[in-house]
Each structure stands twice: as structure tokens, then as C-alpha cells.
Amino acid sequence: MTNFIVPFLGISALSLFAFCYFIFTALFVYALLYGAPYVPIPKYGLDKIIEYANIKPGQKAVDLGSGDGRIMIAMAKAGAIVHGYEINPLLVWWTQRKIKKEGLEGKVFVHLKSFWNVDLSSFDIVTLFGVRKIMGRLEEKLDKELRPGAKIISFGFSFPNWQYLKKEQATFLYEKK
């Protein structure tokens, strides 16, 4: 019996490892192609986003590629109702844990979904930490969907055609015309 169980457990563990490795490699490649790989925003960028967002209670905000939820949680603590879209299920699970721990259920909502498939027209504030190659396509999407006056705050990269209102600490503030 033991002769059978040991190789069976070994093969099962190996298969599970191979499966997880495949899933996370696929997610990483997808994130590289259609968004950005997971890198959490540094504290100075987060502080600048909160300053630029200048949130009024009840405003609706969204983080595109919400990672571990740190931008969402900071915006909710500043008074916003926040949604986040994230394609990595592990990060979505981790964010859900953080939302519960912080007692922010009903204020922060994380969705396992690509932000390219979301209509962003209801949001007052859009935040992102992406990569350069998505900025042109994202600018077109935001231009079509956002209402005039909506704020867009990008950490790391600027949009190719829009003129930013402010830039500090690699953080760019825009307002939809």
C-alpha cells in the first residue's frame, strides 16, 4: 500500500505545482501584453494619488489593475466608493481579505475581470499604474467613456496625447475635457 501511496502523492504534488506554475505564467504574460505585471505602488506614489484625487465623500473611484488593493483601500478611507479590476485571482482573494480586515465591505469592491471589458462611464476618479504600451489604447477608451470633469491619475506613465494638469513623484493628474 505504502509503495503505491508515496509515488501517487509525489505525482499529485508535482502535477499541482505544474498546474499553478502554468496558471501564474499565463497570468503574467497576459498582464504584460494587456496591462502591467504586478508591482505594488510605492508609498510616495500612493500619497500623491490621494492628494491629487482630492476625494469628496461618496465619489466613485476605480483602480485599473488593482493589485493587492492598496490604492482602493486608501481611496475608500478618504471617503470614496471604490471598485477595482484585477485579472490575478490570488491578488483578488488577498484584496478581499484586506477589505474585510479593514472593515471596508460595502465601500470597496474588487472584481476578477479585465478592465478592458468594463464601462468606466460612471466613475469620477480613475487611477492606474500601468505600462507605457497600454497608455495610447487606454487614453482612447477613457476619452470615449468618461464624463467631462472626471479625474485620471496615472502613476509611472503619462498618456501620449493628453496634457497633464500636474506631475510630481512620477504621478500624473489629468481631467477629462
Question: Given the rule CB under 6 A, which of 11-19, 85-93, 157-165, 167-175 is the region that contacts ligand SAM?
Answer: 85-93
167 forms bridges with which residues in the sheet?
172
Report how far residue 93's alpha carbon sits from residue 112's, in angstroms, rounded to the nearest whole number: 9
The verdict on 67 binding ligand SAM (CB under 6 A) reads yes
Q: Which of residues 20-59 bind ligand SAM (CB under 6 A)?
A: 31, 34-36, 38-41
Residues 6+ apart with CB under 8 A from 170: 45, 155, 156
Residue type for position 94: W
- Burial classification of residue 60, based on how many CB atoms lie within 10 Å of its CB (0-12 exposed, 13-18 middle, 19 or more buried): middle
The verdict on 152 binding ligand SAM (CB under 6 A) reads no
Number of residues engaging ligand SAM in binding (CB under 6 A): 23
Question: Least CB distance from residue 70 to ligand SAM, whole Å?
Answer: 5
The verdict on 62 binding ligand SAM (CB under 6 A) reads no
Looking only at the bridges linking them, the beta strands covering 108-112 and 81-86 are parallel
The verdict on 146 binding ligand SAM (CB under 6 A) reads no
Question: Given the rule CB under 6 A, which of 62-70, 102-110, 143-151, 158-166 is the region that contacts ligand SAM?
Answer: 62-70
Report how far residue 44's alpha carbon sits from residue 52's, in angstroms, rounded to the nearest whole number: 12
* Secondary structure class of 40 (helix, strand, coil): coil
> Which residues make up the interface to ligand SAM (CB under 6 A)?
31, 34-36, 38-41, 63, 65-67, 70-71, 85-88, 91, 114-116, 129
